[in-house]
Structure 1
Amino acid sequence: MIMEQPKVTLAGIEAQIVEWLETQPGGANETFIAEMLRTVIRLTRDGTSRGDLKILNRALKELRYAFRIFAPYRSVRKVSIFGSTRIAEDDPYYLLAKNLGRGLAEAGFMIITGAGPGIMQAGHEGAGREKSFGVNIRLPFTQKANRFIQDDPKLMTFHFFFTRKLMFVKGADAFIFFPGGYGTQDELVEVLTLAQTGKSQLVPIILMDLPGNSYWGEWEGFVRRAILSRGYISEEELSLFKVINDVDAAVGEIKSFYRNYHSYRFVRHNLVIRLNHPPSPTLIDHLNREFHDILSDGKVRQTELLPDESDEPDTLHLHRLLVHFNRQDFARLRQMIDVINQED
């Protein structure tokens, strides 16, 4: 028998609201909380429809829950893996994905998959339950979580694709795509678009194939013939992804991306690139010569911690470059990160 949840009313939570207001000490996030509450009040004044309120309510609850699940693992780098649900367990792609999951876990990464069968299950089987997150989707036909993530506390089930996609992207330090259908193509194009437009952090985007197979080779050929040739993307934007057919090479690609580069953040009008090692004068000179086309003003230079970065304590010890980036050529910025990682 399914027990009904008690109905929540404004009168019923009035005491909770008053207690919260009286006990909150303020702090850095107070403004955001106040803006969210003001938005809720405005929704009632706008006469927002019940259907729209249900969308907002469910999306907020899904994201709150997902943020809570991911929060304890904030400092662990994660890799999102995508691919077909229709891959059988005896398929060579399944073995490739399982070996990749194992290799990533052994290298210290956790993995995120859609929690279903096929490639998603293979990734979880290889990485193991302790190193896995599952972001399942509730569909008209049941997509049951695979046995390697079922009942794990790091398994989440979403109603909306857009909240699920947000968690795939927000939590990932790299993306790996195996062959798949419409869903895989949708996720790949969105990840590439976010990277191209700077709406997400630049991270490795790997298209994984079997040796001798041409799924991603044919896909890249289509991109070159139908999109690049018409000027819809630039040659540099092809560097946002890489086709790889070896597990060690894929793991190595991700590890090398974070060998010196750590992360970046926009501070006012400037881009701050955080590094694991101090940049040499030779590297800085190289960056200024090779990437002058993406500088809106001045030159790349070393900088100390900026005051606006004090809200990220895990990055305070890192070295920094200050870049007057034009906020347009993100594919070239991706190439700059590759050069940064080449320094001995």
Structure 2
Amino acid sequence: MGSGVLRAHRAANALFDPAFPFPDVPYRVRRGYHPGGDAADSLLLEDFINPTGTSSYGLPNTTGGTLSVEHTALSGHDPSLSGAWIHDVVAGSSTFFQSNWSSVGTGFDLTGYDTLDLRADRSWGSDPTEASFLVELVNADDTRSSAVAIDEFLELGPPPRGGTTLPAARIPLSSFSGATLASVRGVRLTFTTPLDGNSLYLANIRATRVTTEALAASGQLASVASSAAPPASRARAAGTTLPEQRRIVAGNAIQSVRSSGADAVEITLTSAEFFDLRATNLVLTVGTERSIAARHPNGDLNTVQFLLPRAAFDRLGAQEPVTVDYGPGSSVVWDFGHLDKTALAP
């Protein structure tokens, strides 16, 4: 293989590396990445391999506020992969999980590394709103760096089709002002905003070097990067123009509105243009209420049935607009006119 071809292949590695921007595309791409190599390129900080409450270096981890943390095998991944299930989270400024790698007064030297890497994903839930939490480095003297919001580096919307993929965030260590990088003893995650379902999964916390050749020296590290976020998120970060949204108005119908038990309403919608399967979930919006609890009866992609909580249905006005799309930045939206609440059948 000629050297020119080899260089081209190495440059293409930036497509996989969440430290670099992803080309503008009208759909979500989740990226997981590890630079490989030994501790010189990737220093293990926390892999959740010890019993719950104990860090990978045998020290007690700490928590604050109301939340539960369990070390567990992660369903749908290699059986050897362990992670933390953080659940029953009551959001607040004092609600946190802290992984401790070193005792107070000592710390790891991270000055030879470029990024703090971690993998995270929401558990299944019905709210399409992106979740977030704050990340801080803990210095040897137990002071903490500035807080970095994870949603600048990792999109935490509902996992595609309900399956956790654990995309990776690569946060430049330079983002943590006030960090004493020569002596860092831990990392703290603070949950100041609610999580849908009150839980998320966390794995593989590392200090890493950016090893993608040529680009590593170019300063092209991205802010919103680890999953090519939907176009709306990218545009917010980069100030770019969104691709034009296609609105489908013909051939759409609200087929039925029925009670589904005492606690939900089933809304069945049909369209002449089928609802194509994507990595992101379909989102029903009726007025200000939303749902991603959807199914295609008998596999019919021209029909979709959503479940809307009865309490949400009761909050609706008599005539509310109805649309279906793929969430924030969706390149297509189906318009179904207005929902007549009096059409509700038992």
- TM over 0.5, shorter chain: no
TM category, shorter:
under 0.3
Q: TM-score, normalised by structure 2?
A: 0.24
Structure with more relative contact order (C-alpha pairs < 8 Å, separation 6 or more): 2
Query: Which one has the bigger helix percentage?
Result: 1
TM-score where L is the length of structure 1:
0.24
